[in-house]
C-alpha cells in the first residue's frame, strides 16, 4: 500500500496511535495488556501525540478492574512479588500458555494476572506502588495516555475525548 514502516529509534515521536483496550474508565484511563504486550504498547502510547482507543461498549466501565490487571515481572525472583501484590489487595495468578508453561512476553518476562475484588478504586495509587517496585517491569494501568476513545454499540458509535484536568468523559 506504499505506507512507509519505521521504528521508534528512527522516529521517537508518533503522531497518532490507534489501539484497543481491555477496559476504559469514564476518565479515559485504561487497562491494557491482557494480550501480553503491555510494555511495548505503553512505550508506543507514551511516544504518541494522540492515542485513540477503539473498543466495543462492553469495555466501558465505571471502575477499572472488572478483570485481571496484568503485571509484567522479570523471571528472577518473581515469587517475591506475590506477598507485595496481595498486600495491595490483589488475588494473583501466574499467566500460563494453553500448554501449561509460563507465558513469556516479547521481552521474555512473566505476567502476573492480578484480580482486585471490588475493582481498582484509586488506580493512581496502585500504579504508583507498582512503578516503585524493583522487578516489576510494567503494568496494564494506562493512566492519562488515551486522548480519545471510540466506542461502538447497538446505539451506534460514540466518540469521547479526554477532558482538561481529568474530568469524566461520560
For residue 153, what is the DSSP state? E
Asked if residue 162 belongs to a domain, the reply is no
Supply the pLDDT for residue 164: 81
Asked if residue 166 belongs to a domain, the reply is no
pLDDT over 70, % of the chain: 100
Cα–Cα distances in Å, from 135 out to 33, 96, 143? 18, 19, 21
Which residues in the chain come in under a pLDDT of 50?
Answer: none
Asked if residue 102 belongs to a domain, the reply is yes
Asked if residue 4 belongs to a domain, the reply is no
Supply the pLDDT for residue 78: 98
Asked if residue 3 belongs to a domain, the reply is no
Asked if residue 135 belongs to a domain, the reply is yes
CATH code of 32's domain: 3.30.70.260
Supply the pLDDT for residue 165: 79
pTM of the predicted structure, to 2 decimals: 0.94
Cα–Cα distances in Å, from 23 out to 75, 79, 96? 27, 27, 21
First-to-last CA distance in the chain? 37
* Residue of 9, 10, 23, 41 with catalytic role: 41
Supply the pLDDT for residue 63: 97
Asked if residue 76 belongs to a domain, the reply is yes
Q: Which domain holds residue 140?
A: 18-152
Catalytic, 41? Answer yes
Contact between 67 and 115 under an 8 Å Cβ cutoff? The reply is yes
Q: Please calculate the CA angle 109-113-119 and round it to the nearest 5 degrees.
A: 145
Which residue is listed with cell 516479547? Answer: 106
Q: How many separate domains does the chain show?
A: 1
Amino acid at each position: 500500500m506504499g505506507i512507509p514502516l519505521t521504528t521508534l529509534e528512527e522516529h521517537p515521536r508518533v503522531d497518532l496511535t490507534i489501539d484497543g483496550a481491555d477496559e476504559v474508565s469514564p476518565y479515559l484511563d485504561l487497562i491494557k495488556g491482557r494480550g501480553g504486550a503491555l510494555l511495548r504498547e505503553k512505550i508506543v502510547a507514551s511516544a504518541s501525540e494522540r492515542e485513540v482507543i477503539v473498543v466495543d461498549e462492553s469495555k466501558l466501565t465505571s471502575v477499572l478492574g472488572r478483570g485481571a490487571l496484568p503485571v509484567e515481572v522479570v523471571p528472577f525472583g518473581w515469587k517475591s512479588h506475590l506477598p507485595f501484590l496481595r498486600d495491595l489487595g490483589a488475588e494473583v495468578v501466574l499467566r500460563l500458555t494453553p500448554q501449561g508453561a509460563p507465558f513469556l512476553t516479547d521481552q521474555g518476562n512473566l505476567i502476573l494476572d492480578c484480580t482486585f475484588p471490588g475493582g481498582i478504586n484509586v488506580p493512581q495509587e496502585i500504579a504508583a506502588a507498582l512503578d516503585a517496585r524493583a522487578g516489576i517491569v510494567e503494568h496494564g494501568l494506562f493512566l492519562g495516555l488515551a486522548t480519545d476513545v471510540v466506542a461502538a454499540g447497538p446505539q451506534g458509535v460514540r466518540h469521547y475525548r479526554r477532558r482538561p484536568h481529568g474530568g469524566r468523559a461520560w
